[in-house]
Each structure stands twice: as structure tokens, then as C-alpha cells.
């Protein structure tokens, strides 16, 4: 009868590299071999109404779109008709066409004006507010408690017997604070139309943009550049370009955070104290 042989698993590049390291202190060992992952902290969220918290760069983009469409609501008056100004996120193709021709065309080839288009330019890290200390082992977390859960429901029996429910706590790593810079361009036919839009946007500066039921970030607008173009046999365009600085934060949904960060924990409900009597105090050491 042939023996069951298992195909050997090849070592990863990290394992091969770690084997080449020699520890300076033999007692402490090689710090690269230290496994600080505590599987006891990896609690499942199955059946839990509270899910792991995460927020990304796209949420900051959507906060600008939401605020333009639902709060500022830019509009112009043209030929006695109120026209809502469309807001478009400038993908690389749209932004290149917009900068080359000075205007944007819809699917039918017609010039869309008035229009507001914005795009993301840069992301700068802010280290003066907070820090999660180490991404490989984040220890700086924010903890929020949940009094009752389906497994620890509030009932009269627990109240009469003075049974304390087991509280659940959710830990969220301290986010990375960033400043995201956007370039925004407004195109209109007339200067009075542009003035009304700039006045509405400038008034909304230094406030928190975004959906109140989700995330809000503070928007900073410092200046507006205005120019008027009237080319031969072309449409007259009145445009303004300005920058929006969003003071935001991100908690990415990455595997590194899920493996190393503490996500959910429970407190102690009952403490048991036992007694032991011995004739000689030295017997405790022996036992």
C-alpha cells in the first residue's frame, strides 16, 4: 500500500528572505519572525447589524457631487427660463476634451453650457492631527460600545435577577487624515450667469460638504480665476476655474487592516473568585 504523500508547498519570497536574516540578539530572536496576530481578536461579523467601518477616496468625491446637486443647486436664468446647471466628474477623456476645445459636448454632439466639471488633482497626507502608530500592528483605535444585541437582548428576567448583559465594543483604527485637492471649471454664456454660480459656491466655502446621513468633509475655496473668450466663428464662453481643498480622512478596506487590527471585542460579564487553603504558604508555589 502506497503511502499518502503531500506535495510540498513552495516558500514565498518573504519566507526565503527571512531565513537569510540573522538576529543580533539571540534571546530576542529575529523580529521578522514574530507573529503578533491574535486570532482571538478576529471575531466574525456574521449576523451582526454593525459592519466593519471603511471610508475611501471615492466617498470624498461623492461628497462634492452630493453637495453641488442637493445643497448648492446651481442654476441660471436664460431667456426667462430657469435652467439647472449639470455637474460632471471629469474623467481623463472628458477633461482632456474640455481643456482642448474649451467646452464639453453631449452624446448628440451639442455643446453643454452652462456646465460645472471637476476632477481630483492630488492627495496630501496630514500628519499633525493623529496617527495609527503602525499599519502593521495598529494600536491607536477608537472604541464604541453597543449595549444590547440579538444574543444579549433586554428582558424583564435579566432585570429581576440583576443579570448584566454582555456589551459588545467595535474598534475602528484611527483614520489617515488627508487633504484632497480638486480643480473645478464653470462654463456659461454670460457674465451675470457666472456671477450667480460663483456667489453660491463662495458662500458654501469653509463648510462641511457631503451627505449628512453618511460622511461630511470641510471644503476650502480660496480664489476664482475668471476669463472670457470670443473666438472667430465660435461660441462665446465665460469661464471660471478654482480649486477645492477637501479636509478628509480614509479608513481603507484592505486585507492588512482586517488581519492585524482589532475590530470587535466583548467585556467581562462575570468574575469568579475561588478560595484555596493550605497549611504552608510554600505549597502554593509547588502547586
Per-residue pLDDT of 123-144, as tens digits, reads 999 888 877 666 666 667 777 7
Specify the pLDDT at position 175: 83
pLDDT score of 3:
58
Of 265 and 253, the structure prediction assigns the larger pLDDT to: 253
DSSP of the chain: ------PPPPPPHHHHHHHT---SSTTT--GGG-----GGG----TT-SSPPP-B-HHHHHHHHHHHIIIII--EEEETTEEEEPPEEE--HHHHHHHHHHSSEE-TTS-EE-SEEEEEEEEEEE--SS---S-SSS---EEEEEES-BTTB---HHHHHTTPPPPPEEEEEEPPEEEEEEEEEEEEESSHHHHHHHHHHHHHTTTSEEE-TTS-EEEEE---EEEEEE--TTS--EEEEEEEEEEEEEEB---HHHHHHS--EEE------------SSTHHHHH-
Least confident of 72-76, 133-137, 277-281: 133-137
pLDDT-above-90 percentage for the chain: 16
pLDDT score of 1 more than 60: no
pLDDT (tens digit per residue) in 161-207: 776 666 777 777 788 899 999 999 888 888 888 899 999 999 988 99
Read off the pLDDT of each residue in 211-223 and give the average, rounded to a whole number.
90
Least confident among 73-77, 115-119, 151-155: 151-155
Read off the pTM.
0.65
Average pLDDT of 89-99? 73
When the pLDDT of each residue in the chain is averaged and rounded to a whole number, the result is 76
Amino acid at each position: 500500500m502506497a503511502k499518502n504523500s503531500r506535495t510540498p508547498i513552495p516558500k514565498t519570497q518573504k519566507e526565503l528572505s527571512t531565513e537569510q536574516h540573522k538576529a543580533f540578539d539571540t534571546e530576542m530572536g529575529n523580529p521578522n519572525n514574530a507573529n503578533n496576530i491574535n486570532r482571538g481578536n478576529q471575531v466574525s461579523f456574521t449576523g451582526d447589524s454593525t459592519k466593519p467601518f471603511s471610508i475611501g477616496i471615492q466617498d470624498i468625491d461623492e461628497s462634492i457631487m452630493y453637495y453641488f446637486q442637493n445643497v448648492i443647486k446651481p442654476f441660471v436664468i436664460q431667456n426667462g427660463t430657469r435652467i439647472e446647471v449639470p455637474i460632471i466628474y471629469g474623467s481623463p477623456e472628458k477633461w482632456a476634451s474640455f481643456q482642448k476645445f474649451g467646452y464639453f459636448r453631449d452624446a448628440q454632439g451639442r455643446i453643454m453650457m452652462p456646465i460645472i466639471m471637476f476632477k481630483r488633482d492630488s492627495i496630501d497626507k496630514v500628519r499633525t492631527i493623529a496617527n495609527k502608530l503602525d499599519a502593521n500592528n495598529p494600536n491607536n483605535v477608537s472604541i464604541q460600545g453597543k449595549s444590547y444585541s440579538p444574543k444579549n437582548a433586554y428582558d424583564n428576567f435579566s432585570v429581576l435577577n440583576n443579570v448584566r448583559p454582555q456589551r459588545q465594543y467595535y474598534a475602528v483604527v484611527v483614520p489617515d487624515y488627508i487633504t484632497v485637492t480638486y480643480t473645478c471649471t464653470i462654463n456659461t454664456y454670460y457674465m451675470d450667469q457666472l456671477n450667480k454660480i460663483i456667489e453660491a459656491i463662495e458662500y458654501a466655502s469653509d463648510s462641511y460638504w457631503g451627505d449628512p446621513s453618511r460622511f461630511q468633509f470641510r471644503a476650502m475655496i480660496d480664489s476664482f480665476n475668471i476669463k472670457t473668450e470670443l473666438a472667430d466663428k465660435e461660441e462665446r464662453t465665460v469661464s471660471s476655474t478654482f480649486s477645492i481643498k477637501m479636509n478628509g480622512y480614509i479608513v481603507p478596506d484592505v486585507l492588512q487592516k482586517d488581519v492585524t487590527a482589532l475590530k470587535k471585542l466583548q467585556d467581562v460579564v462575570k468574575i469568579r473568585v475561588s478560595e484555596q487553603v493550605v497549611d504552608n504558604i510554600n505549597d502554593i508555589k509547588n502547586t
